[in-house]
Structure 1
Amino acid sequence: MLRRLLIALIVIGMAGFAIFWWLTMPSTISLALAARTPDLANGEEVFNAGGCTSCHAVPNQPDRLKLGGGLPLASPFGTFYAPNISQDPTDGIGRWSESDFVNAVLRGTSPGGSHYYPAFPYTSYAHARLEDIRDLFAYMKTLPAVSGASRDHDLPFPFNIRRTLGIWKLLFFDDKPFTPDQQRSAQWNRGAYLVNSLGHCAECHSPRNLLGGIIKAQRFAGGPDPEGHGWVPNITQKGLADWSESDFGYFLESGQLPDGDSVGGAMTRVIRNTSQLSADDRTAVAVYLKSLAPVEGPPKPPKPAG
């Protein structure tokens, strides 16, 4: 009887492990990428809209195109360190194929077949057009190589087990491409595309649950800074109803708030990118943001008595 029970437990354990392994298998886009002439100007616009330099530029130096990584990104799950995504063949992505890059950006899967942590916002990039990501890859090929590998992430158990991210993706990763709203203008749809895919605005401006997934009902409604530095503002009309479209557009260009104050913190890195966008794209983003319905965000903690 004991022998049969032991055998049953082993079989159940093996079956459970097999199911776990299958469920957590990293996904890839299996397609043959036809030869095409890349649009480098569009690739640069995608690069700026995607905010690649906000995390991947080498900290504390002025050249935003030195993508050697190293920026620490604190979170409730540990500290992530932005990797080197320059063209260095050893420390960066200089040896990556176009398919490697597409699968990293649109599926969060590394060339080696492992999951990337969603500190890399592929959860938003997944909604981007394939052509845009191919143009981005071509543009990044024109940028300088930077030697030096970033340090490993500092994550406690069990968050340091990448395979478990397969379950996280099953719960929270929507990889459907962006679908235009035919009832809206081309300008609004362009803004919606930029905000929800390349711009990944919801990644910081939305509260998250205990597992780190965005709370959909409060998308864009602000919440605790994921890096633990204060509060990220509500950017729906609940939080910014008094902002006009021109206020939004000028803010994305200059970092200046309507009251004359300047943006601070991590948003300064974002403005370095949005200021490089075309005026048309900044206006499209402003049109979309102004259209967001008011959403009540999580309550702010009371300020400590001064």
Structure 2
Amino acid sequence: MASRAAVKTVIMVAAVALAAATGLAGAGARAADADAVRRGEYLFNAAGCLGCHTDEKGGGKPLAGGRALATPFGTFYPPNITPDPEHGIGRWSDADFIRAFREGRAPDGSYLYPAFPYPSYTRMTDRDLLDLKAYLFSREPVAAANRPHDLSMPFSWRFLLAGWQWLYFDTRGPRPDDPAKPPEWNRGRYVVDALGHCGECHTPRTTFGGMEADRYLAGNPKGPNGDKVPNITPQPRFGIGGWTPGDITLLLETGLTPEGDVVGNAMAEVVRNSTSKLTADDRAAVAAYLQSLPPIGPPP
């Protein structure tokens, strides 16, 4: 009898220990998920996802897509990126999500238009991409159908994107930190070139829509919605060469220029939804990186 009672006691103790361990593991997983969502929210803001994927003027729900983005190649309508399984990205696996950002390919293998700035997002780390996905999947699913793009030929022929990627898309992924540069510079490069995808608007395009690599950040006369996008290289006359680091960080935080003007149009939206939500350290890193770049003037 004593032996049987002892066995029962051992079993009960083991069961309690197992339940406690399971509870701790579950709590740890929930905490990890919450941390991923929190980090993902910061990345979401840094990447400016809200503005492009929300038809604010049309009264659309956040991230349900449908906003018109006019370009020289036609009008793009960014898709629904809520976790709705039918119209959004609710059925996307981690691998699907990373592939879209890293390779510019949809889950079915079709090529994505570079109006979705994957040529810049490809430089994001896997961890940042999965944290971003965790945040998006924590949002409200919206059953809003996607609107097809309205593009002129030949840009409406999606199969030609294979050639476009061959010409213009560098798929090497994240760049390692430059050990010869300080951490602030490396962080600034990551925020500008990858998360913030600043070059996508501030760099002129070729006839077929590729960025002119030798004029990176030197301004774009034919930006989104027909706006002229300024030169943000440290060129003294045509760029921001006369700006102090404080001038740059103040603009990123408030939209106020050194001349006392306030940015408008697309940049006002970027400040409201993105750069004003960066940490002060990240804004300082952006300023340090931009001021280190080669100054580029107008084309000959």
Shorter chain as denominator, the TM-score bin is: 0.7 to 0.9
1:78-117 correspondence runs (5 A): 78-117=74-113
SS where residue 224 of structure 1 aligns? coil
Partner residue, 1:273 = 274
The answer to whether the Cα contact below 8 Å between 2:88 and 2:142 also exists between their aligned partners in 1 is: yes
Aligned to 1:207: 204
| Partner Cα separation in structure 2 for residue 48 and residue 298 of structure 1 | 33
- Say yes or no: does 1:74 pair with 2:70: yes
Cα distance in 1, alignment partners of residues 193 and 175 from structure 2: 8
SS at match of 2:277: coil
Counterpart secondary structure, 2:70? strand
Contact 2:88 2:143 (8 Å CA) reproduced: yes
> Which of 144, 150, 153 is residue 154 of structure 1 equivalent to?
150
* Cα distance in 2 for residues equivalent to 1:167 and 1:123: 14
Match of 1:197 in 2: 194
Superposition deviation, residue 74 in structure 1:
1.3
Contact kept, 8 Å, 1:218 with 1:297, in 2: the verdict is no
What residue is the counterpart of 2:51 in the other structure? 54
Aligned partners of 1:220 and 1:134: how far apart in 2? 28
Shift of 1:175: 1.7
Instruction: Answer whether contact 1:46 1:132 (CA < 8 A) is retained.
Output: yes
User: Match for 2:198: what amino acid?
Assistant: C
Per-residue CA distance 1:214-264 (angstroms, 9 max, x = gap): 111110000213335342100001101111111111111111111111110
For residue 208 of structure 1, report the CA deviation from its aligned partner: 1.0
TM-score when normalising by structure 2: 0.83
Deviation at 1:148, TM superposition (A): 1.2
**Deviation by residue 1:7-37 (Cα, 9 ceiling, x = unmatched):** xxxxxxxxxxxxxxxxxxxxxxxxxxxx994
Matched with 1:172 is 168
- The runs of at least 4 consecutive aligned structure 1 residues that moved more than 3 Å come to 35-38
Instruction: Please give the alpha-carbon distance, in whole angstroms, between the structure 2 residues aligned to 1:180 and 1:166.
Output: 30
Whether 1:41 aligns to 2:41 is: no
Deviation at 1:158, TM superposition (A): 2.2
**Aligned partners of 2:296 and 2:194: how far apart in 1?**
20
Larger radius of gyration: 2
2:125 pairs, out of 129, 139, 144, with 129
Structure 2 contact 249–283 (Cα < 8 Å) conserved: yes
Across the aligned residues of Structure 1 and Structure 2, the Cα RMSD in angstroms comes to 1.9
**Does the CA contact (< 8 Å) of 1:49 and 1:274 recur in 2?**
yes
Distance 1:265 1:298 in 2: 25
Structure 1: how far apart are the matches of 2:105 and 2:264?
33
Shift of 1:181: 1.2
**Is contact 2:72-2:222 (8 Å) kept?**
no
| Cα distance in structure 2, aligned partners of 1:83 and 1:180 | 33
The structure carrying a bigger helix percent of its residues is 2
State the identity %: 47
Query: 1:160-212, CA deviations, whole angstroms, 9 ceiling, x for partnerless residues?
Result: 22111011001100122222111111011000011011110001101111111
The CA distance in 2 between the partners of 1:284 and 1:125, in whole Å, is 18
Q: Distance in 1 between matches of 2:75 and 2:57?
A: 19
Q: Secondary structure at the match of 1:74?
A: strand
TM-aligned CA deviation for residue 118 of structure 1: 0.3
Give the distance between the partners of 2:55 and 2:224, measured in 1 at CA: 18
Q: Is the 8 Å Cα contact of residues 55 and 82 (structure 1) preserved in structure 2?
A: yes
Count the aligned residue pairs. 264
User: In structure 2, what is the Cα distance between the partners aligned to 1:173 and 1:256?
Assistant: 34
